[in-house]
Copies of this chain bind each other. A is one copy, B any other.
Amino acid sequence: MAATMKDLSRETGLGLATISKYFNGGTVREKNRVLIEAAVKKLHYVPNEVARSLKTSHTRVIGVIIPELSNAFITSIISSMEDILRKQDYAVIVCDCRSDPKREKEAVDFLLHRRVDGLINMATDTTGAHLKAPLASGIPVLLVDRLIDSLQGKVSAVVIDNVHAAGQAVQKLTSLGHRQIGLILGSPNLYTTNQRLTGYLNALQDAGIAPDNEYIRYGDYTMDGGYQAAQELLKLKNRPTALFVTNFEMTLGTMLALQHNNIRVPEDLSVIGFDKLELFGEIFPDLTLIRQPQLSIGREAANLMLDMLSSKETGVSRIVTLTTELTEGKSVKALKV
């Protein structure tokens, strides 16, 4: 059906090598160039990337494995990654593993069969077992958002400085006199959860405040989880005077819980949230927030992957750490003494 280079060869009377060189940016005599272009048009020739991939043994495809496609934080990262990658003629195959390690492993195998040139992973499996095979095969593997302890030094990554992020928020609160600060974290054991907890504890220590486990809750990074966690914190005998919530969904849940309990922000309670995403921002416009540079995360990830692809040095680990920003709103207030 589709025309091949052989057809072009026959049509133009030129050899295959000439045609191939034409397509690969080699120098071709002017009149032959014209000849080839005419034949391409006439025969509707479309280069076959599959054949090229087989020959060159690279596919110009990057596999991207994520925990969830229906998540604005993740899609904004993917969106900026895909943009850059496709401009460099790389295709992106997205695999949503629904936060299931088993599916994640299947996705890795799936992509390996397809001989992707590189793998970008926002990892679900915290052990990193699923990445053994691609790492062994020597293809570039890039972690995004979440580091994996056991892979330290073996893999590159783009993350934010979570310890600093949480520190920023908590320090802001302690500087305003708050000493009872509730913390709503994601799922236990996740990299970001641990790091943000560390940042919280560090900041408390810096302020000479002893941490209270009652104030530390896990909200699963979901809106419902955030809602629940906030409810529990509000019921405490020694209710916190301030809250730091560590992702957007939970921030939303927290705000709803406060609304349902008729708690005014910041009059009754100070709140620092996370990740202002376009639409939501308008709903609670005055929230003080820690913001991750999502577009930059995607951009850095794409560029780092491109680097890894073009450099021959395999197995080098490079970690890009981006910093968050504290956006001042009106949801935080000094504690009256």
A interface residues with partner B (beta carbon < 8 Å) = 1-2, 46-51, 53-54, 59, 61, 69-70, 72, 75-76, 78-79, 82-83, 86, 89, 91-96, 98, 107, 110-115, 137-138, 223, 249, 252-253, 256, 278-280, 282-283
**In the assembled complex, which residues on chain B have CB atoms less than 8 Å from the CB atom of A53?**
50
Min C-beta distance of A101 to chain B, whole Å: 16
Q: Do the beta carbons of B96 and A93 come within 8 Å of each other?
A: no
Min C-beta distance of A162 to chain B, whole Å: 23
Asked, given contacts A94-B94, A279-B252, whether A115 binds B48 with beta carbons under 8 Å apart, the answer is: yes
Q: Do the beta carbons of B50 and A1 come within 8 Å of each other?
A: no
**In the assembled complex, which residues on chain B have CB atoms less than 8 Å from the CB atom of A1?**
137-138
Min C-beta distance of A280 to chain B, whole Å: 8
**In the assembled complex, which residues on chain B have CB atoms less than 8 Å from the CB atom of A112?**
46
Shortest 6 CB-CB distances between A and B: which pairs? A69-B79, A49-B114, A91-B93, A50-B53, A49-B113, A50-B54
How far is it, in angstroms, between the C-alpha of A334 and the C-alpha of B303 when the chains are bound? 57
**In the assembled complex, which residues on chain B have CB atoms less than 8 Å from the CB atom of A283?**
252, 256, 283
Q: Do the beta carbons of A75 and B83 come within 8 Å of each other?
A: no
Oligomer: number of copies: 2
**In the assembled complex, which residues on chain B have CB atoms less than 8 Å from the CB atom of A96?**
79, 82-83
Min C-beta distance of A301 to chain B, whole Å: 15
How far is it, in angstroms, between the C-alpha of A42 and the C-alpha of B285 when the chains are bound? 60
A50, A94, A138: residue with the most chain B Cβ atoms closer than 10 Å? A50
**In the assembled complex, which residues on chain B have CB atoms less than 8 Å from the CB atom of A253?**
282
What are 28 residue pairs bridging A and B, where the CB atoms are less than 8 Å apart in the complex?
Answer: A2-B137, A47-B113, A48-B54, A50-B50, A50-B59, A50-B114, A61-B93, A69-B75, A69-B78, A70-B72, A70-B75, A72-B72, A79-B96, A82-B94, A82-B96, A83-B98, A86-B95, A91-B93, A91-B111, A92-B93, A92-B94, A93-B93, A94-B94, A223-B282, A249-B279, A252-B282, A256-B282, A279-B280
**In the assembled complex, which residues on chain B have CB atoms less than 8 Å from the CB atom of A92?**
93-94
A93's nearest neighbour on chain B, judged by CB, is: B91
How far is it, in angstroms, between the C-alpha of A89 and the C-alpha of B253 when the chains are bound? 37
Pick from B70, B115, B137: contact of A76, CB under 8 Å:
B70
Asked, given contacts A50-B50, A54-B54, whether A110 binds B137 with beta carbons under 8 Å apart, the answer is: no
Min C-beta distance of A54 to chain B, whole Å: 5
Supplied contacts A92-B94, A252-B279, 16 more A-B pairs, CB within 8 Å: A2-B137, A46-B112, A46-B113, A49-B114, A50-B114, A69-B82, A70-B75, A79-B96, A83-B96, A86-B110, A91-B93, A91-B111, A94-B94, A252-B282, A253-B282, A283-B283
How far is it, in angstroms, between the C-alpha of A304 and the C-alpha of B280 when the chains are bound? 35
**In the assembled complex, which residues on chain B have CB atoms less than 8 Å from the CB atom of A47?**
113
A2's nearest neighbour on chain B, judged by CB, is: B137
Q: Do the beta carbons of A82 and B95 come within 8 Å of each other?
A: yes
**In the assembled complex, which residues on chain B have CB atoms less than 8 Å from the CB atom of A98?**
83
A89, A95, A138: residue with the most chain B Cβ atoms closer than 10 Å? A95
Q: Do the beta carbons of A91 and B114 come within 8 Å of each other?
A: yes
Min C-beta distance of A104 to chain B, whole Å: 12
